[in-house]
C-alpha cells in the first residue's frame, strides 16, 4: 500500500482527489490538510509515500512548504494547481507529476499509474528537468559531473554543458547523496564516479581532480566524508 496525503486549501478539491484515490486499492489515504501549517504538523505521523500538493494556498504556498522542510522530502510529490505557469518550477523542485485543474478522471488515473510505477521501480533513473530556451531538458543524475552553487541557484555541469537549476546546494545535497554524490566544499558537490585523483598540496589542503580535468577545492570540513566514501570497504 502506498500512503497518500492531500494538501489543498479548497475542501472540494480535497474531496475530489480523495474520491479518486478511494477507487485504487493500492492507495491508503492517510490524511487531508487545508493548509501548509496543517501539513507540517501532520507529516511526521502520516509518513506519506505520495503528496498531492496544491501550489497556491494562503500564507504559505506549496513551494514554501517544501522549503520549510529544509531537505529533499522523503515522499513523491504531485502538484495540483489551476495555473500552468508553475509547471517548470514544480519539476525543478523534484515533482513526479503535475495535475492542472480542472482534470478528468482519466488524466488523474494516468498520473497515478505513472507515479506508482516510478515509486516501485527499483532501478529508476533519477533526473532533473531544466529550462533550455523555450524547451524543457532532461539531465540524468548519471550524466552530472559536479554541481556548483550560484547564489540562489545551482549549476549542473554535465557532459561539457552547464544547466541552471533553481535549487539550493544544501537542498540538492540531500537528494544527490544516496546516488553517489558527495559535497566537497560549501560551493561544490561532485559525482564520486568522476573523481580521478585527490591531490594533497604542501599546505595540507586537498584538490579534487575530475575525469574532465576540472580541479575543485576540497574543504577540511568534508575531507573525512570524502575519504570514507572513496575508500574500499
- Model confidence over 8-57: pLDDT tens digits? 999 999 999 999 999 999 899 999 999 999 999 999 899 998 999 998 88
Superfamily of domain 135-230: LytTr DNA-binding domain (2.40.50.1020)
- Model confidence over 175-211: pLDDT tens digits? 888 889 999 999 999 999 999 999 988 887 899 999 9
Report the C-alpha gap between 162 and 144 in whole angstroms. 10
The DSSP secondary-structure symbol of 60 reads S
pLDDT band at 122 (very low <50, low <70, confident <90, very high): low
The C-alpha cell of 36 is what?
501548509
What mean pLDDT comes out for the span 108-118? 87
pLDDT at 117: 80
The C-alpha cell of 218 is what?
576540497
Domain with CATH 3.40.50.2300 in the chain: 2-124
pLDDT at 123: 53
Report the C-alpha gap between 183 and 186 in whole angstroms. 7
Say what the pTM is. Answer: 0.58
The CATH number for 2-124, chosen from 3.40.710.10, 2.130.10.10, 3.40.50.2300, 1.20.1740.10, is 3.40.50.2300
Query: Where does residue 23 fall: left (phi above 0), alpha (psi -120 to 50 degrees), or beta otherwise?
Result: alpha
Amino acid at each position: 500500500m502506498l500512503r497518500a496525503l492531500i494538501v489543498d486549501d479548497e475542501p472540494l478539491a480535497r474531496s475530489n482527489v480523495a474520491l479518486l484515490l478511494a477507487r485504487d486499492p493500492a492507495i491508503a489515504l492517510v490524511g487531508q490538510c487545508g493548509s501548509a501549517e496543517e501539513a507540517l504538523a501532520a507529516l511526521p505521523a502520516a509518513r506519506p509515500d505520495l503528496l498531492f500538493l496544491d501550489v497556491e494556498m494562503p500564507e504559505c504556498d506549496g513551494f514554501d512548504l517544501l522549503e520549510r522542510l529544509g531537505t529533499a522530502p522523503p515522499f513523491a510529490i504531485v502538484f495540483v494547481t489551476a495555473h500552468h505557469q508553475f509547471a517548470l518550477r514544480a519539476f525543478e523542485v523534484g515533482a513526479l507529476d503535475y495535475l492542472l485543474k480542472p482534470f478528468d478522471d482519466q488524466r488523474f488515473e494516468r498520473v497515478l499509474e505513472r507515479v506508482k510505477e516510478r515509486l516501485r521501480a527499483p532501478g529508476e533513473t533519477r533526473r532533473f528537468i531544466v529550462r533550455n530556451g523555450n524547451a524543457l531538458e532532461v539531465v540524468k543524475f548519471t550524466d552530472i559531473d559536479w554541481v556548483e552553487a550560484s547564489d540562489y541557484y545551482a549549476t549542473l555541469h554535465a557532459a561539457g554543458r552547464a544547466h541552471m537549476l533553481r535549487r539550493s546546494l544544501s537542498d540538492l545535497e540531500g537528494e544527490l547523496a544516496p546516488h553517489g554524490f558527495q559535497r566537497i566544499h560549501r560551493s561544490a558537490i561532485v559525482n564520486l564516479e568522476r573523481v580521478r585523483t585527490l591531490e594533497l598540496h604542501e599546505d595540507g589542503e586537498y584538490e579534487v581532480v575530475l575525469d574532465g580535468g576540472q580541479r575543485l577545492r576540497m574543504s577540511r570540513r568534508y575531507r573525512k566524508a570524502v575519504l570514507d566514501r572513496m575508500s574500499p570497504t
